[in-house]
Structure 1
Amino acid sequence: MGQRRAPHLRPNANRILLTIDLTTAVVEEALSTQTAFIVSYHPPIFKPLSSFTLANSIQSSLLRCAAAGISVYSPHTALDSVTGGINDWLYSCLTSGSQHGDYTITYVGEEKEQGLGGEGRLIAFETPLAMKVLEGRIKGHLKLDQIQVAYTSARDLTTISSVAICAGSGGSMLLGVDADVYFTGEMSHHEVLAAVASGHNVVLCGHTNTERGYLPILAKKLAEELQNELSDATDPAAATALQSLKPVISEADKHPLKFV
């Protein structure tokens, strides 16, 4: 995770804009509204830079934000791993409601300290369910008409007992995990082949489709934290600033790919 702090505060700005990606469209939205702060789930910069230039669209977006007094913060994998974060939201369609039986949840990948979660999740159902039922719940949860699936002949599609989950790009995380199904946003062609060959069904929903639905939950959590900060504020100026801040979900942020 990381933060790019603006060199000055933007006057009269009161919006915290939540987005999955800091695209040029999202930056235009921020600049055209009273946005003070952008929470961009994906960091716009993944590699060290020796300089910033307007010739690069991503760097230009950050420079424009800084010039306007808009700071940018990227939680990324911290939001994946934490209890109550994106991966917990992602698997909730498979475990919540009266139609679901008993189940257990374990962490996939590096487990964080002090009960703060892990990089992925593994669900084990006490009562198996059919693959078609699983697919229907996933599509309903993510509001998708279509998902991509790959089936292995090594598993019975009517008795799915375990699902390994990783939001975003989960190939490197999930390969090697013992589960009937790998549920993630995207995997490479060869990762899918390897998963099927090693006896795992695959469900792919599009990278950001497995992340964007969490933004309303994040907005609610931020609003609650701002209210808590306001209750504890002793400085009148700080209290006034906190009271005006409002988390808002970007309207310009969208999955970049479409079916045609």
Structure 2
Amino acid sequence: MSVSMSSAPFSRAVVRAMRKLYPPALADNSWDNTGLLLEAPFVPSRPQSNTILLTIDLTRAVADEAIALKSSIIISYHPIIFRGLKCLTLANTQQQILLRLASHGISVYSPHTAVDAAPGGLGDWLADIVTGTRTSYEEFSDAVETPNSKEALDDNDPFTDLKPPPTYTLNHHPSQTSFRLATAASETVTTIPHTRRPIVPQSPDLESHPGAGMGRIVTFSNPQPLPTLLDRIGKGMNNPKGFPIAIPQGRTISDLSISSVGICAGSGGSMLGGLDVDLLFTGEMSHHEALAAIEKGQAVISLFHSNSERGFLTEVLRGQLEGMVEEEWAKIRQEDGENEELREVLEEEFEVLVSEVDRDPYGIVILKSDTG
């Protein structure tokens, strides 16, 4: 006699919602691995909360966070499984994470490049930043880091010297929950006239998602001073401590004007390399890719890989999911409404949360003068 198993009803609603928002057909399946990567079985005697946890990377810290929240499902932008697995053991740290999550009834879904390609997705979010199309976010005043205070230093941080006076501190980009949506009309940025198009258009085009494709090329109606774009990007990325920029030798930031921008979230070297644009805006590029760009007279801005992606979770994906999951959750409730075993689970509302511990592995070391 076979045993019937399924994932939690709420997890099924979330997977349906993600597939509608970001169809798997949009992903670059020649190398990417997207979709439902871990389907944890539903145990009626130990139900999870109807909570979605959004993250860029599924690390041990994020798994701990999801377990503490009793989340039903994690939406991890980056896939934790890229290649085929011949076994699942505790000897591998990433497999440990998967086994732990399965034992706690937590599923994992990864949309990755489907989000990059979708209209209104990650590529357009970055394009919105450089064109001033978005509404700004601002930090809570109590979330501002104060590296000069001893309380702000991490005792376990090998990059931080705890002996007074400290000569350097390691600063990571703040977690997304330390930001709130600016609602004042005066905080809405005026859109700069421009056109935009994908670098690699989706083929064949999806009727449900017209205009999809990888990367974006933004062309301004009037050239923009590079310092103005830097200010826009800094504010749009929630004021990071700093980010790398490369410009041609013999030029200065203040004398560069930008008429066109090539955009790619994450690692953009291969996609942006052949573009005839003034500025390459991405998460990371190799030394030689950046060198080749400035030799062509281009400027390069890189943000660290996942810092070019993380803000999208709070500013776009969370709101999208709240709307789409509400529709799919209502359908699941109707479909499973006669199942007495699911009555308590189906009566619960849901919540979409953004991880507080997810962060790029790189931080910025800020040097300070030694006054000792």
Same fold, judged at TM 0.5 (above): yes
SS where residue 54 of structure 1 aligns?
A: coil
The answer as to 2:364 corresponding to 1:259 is: yes
Alpha-carbon distance between aligned partners in 1 of 2:108 and 2:330, rounded to the nearest angstrom: 25
Cα displacement (A) at 1:227: 1.7
Structure 2: gaps of 5 or more residues: 1-33, 134-187, 366-372
- 2:100 is aligned with 1:69: no
Aligned AA (2:42) = H
2:19 corresponds in structure 1 to none
- Counterpart in the other structure of 1:250: 355
2:39 matched residue in structure 1: 5
* Alignment-mate amino acid for residue 214 of structure 2: E
Partner Cα distance (1:242, 1:79) in 2: 31
| Cα distance in 2, alignment partners of residues 241 and 116 from structure 1 | 37
Alpha-carbon distance, 1:181 to partner: 0.3
Deviation at 1:100, TM superposition (A): 4.0
The alignment covers a number of residue pairs equal to 260
Structure with the largest fraction of strand:
1
In 1, the alpha carbon distance for the partners of 2:39 and 2:53 equals 15
- Answer with 155-164 or 140-149: which moved more: 155-164
Task: Decide which moves more: 121-130 or 88-97.
Answer: 88-97
Aligned AA (1:7): P
The residue correspondences of 1:1-260 to structure 2 (distance < 5 A) are 1-3=34-36, 4-9=38-43, 11-95=47-131, 96=133, 99-112=190-203, 113-114=205-206, 115-143=210-238, 144-152=240-248, 157-216=255-314, 217-232=316-331, 233-235=333-335, 236=337, 241=346, 243-260=348-365
1:219 is paired with a residue whose SS is helix
Query: What is the deviation of 1:110?
Result: 4.3
List gaps (5 residues or longer) in structure 1: none
CA offsets 1:14-69 (integer angstroms, 9 cap, x no match): 11110000000000111111211000000011111111111111111011111111
Comparing 149-158 with 161-170, greater Cα deviation is found at: 149-158
Q: Is the 8 A contact 2:226 2:256 kept in 1?
A: yes
For residues 132 and 255 of structure 1, the distance between their equivalents in structure 2, rounded to whole angstroms, comes to 25
Deviation at 1:252, TM superposition (A): 1.3
Q: Which moved more, 1:83-92 or 1:150-159?
A: 150-159
User: What TM-score do you get using the length of structure 2 for normalisation?
Assistant: 0.66
Amino acid at match of 1:62: L
CA contact (8 A) 1:27 1:61 kept: yes
Deviation at 1:199, TM superposition (A): 2.6
SS of equivalent residue, structure 1 residue 101: coil
What's the TM-score once normalised by structure 1's chain length?
A: 0.92
Report the CA distance shift for 1:27/1:182 in structure 2 as closer, same or farther (over 3 A).
same
State the secondary structure of the residue aligned to 1:199: coil
Give the distance between the partners of 2:92 and 2:233, measured in 1 at CA: 37
Structure 1 residue 99: deviation in Å?
4.2
Offset at residue 124 of structure 1 (A): 0.2
Distance of 1:213 and 1:101 partners within structure 2: 21
Match for 1:223: what amino acid?
A: E
Give the CA deviation at 1:244.
Answer: 2.2
Cα RMSD, aligned residues only: 2.1
The sequence identity of aligned pairs, in percent, is 42
Structure 1 window deviating more from structure 2 (200-209 vs 148-157): it is 148-157
Q: Is residue 241–residue 364 contact of structure 2 (8 Å, CA) maintained in 1?
A: no
Q: Deviations over 1:52-90 (max 9, x none)?
A: 111111111011111111100000000111011111111
Q: Secondary structure at the match of 1:244?
A: coil
Q: Structure 2 vs 1, CA of residues 244 and 98 (structure 1 numbering), >3 Å: closer, same or farther?
A: closer
**Greater Cα radius of gyration, structure 1 or 2:** 2
Q: Secondary structure of 1:253's match?
A: coil
Q: Deviations over 1:97-128 (max 9, x none)?
A: 66443211011124341315111000000111
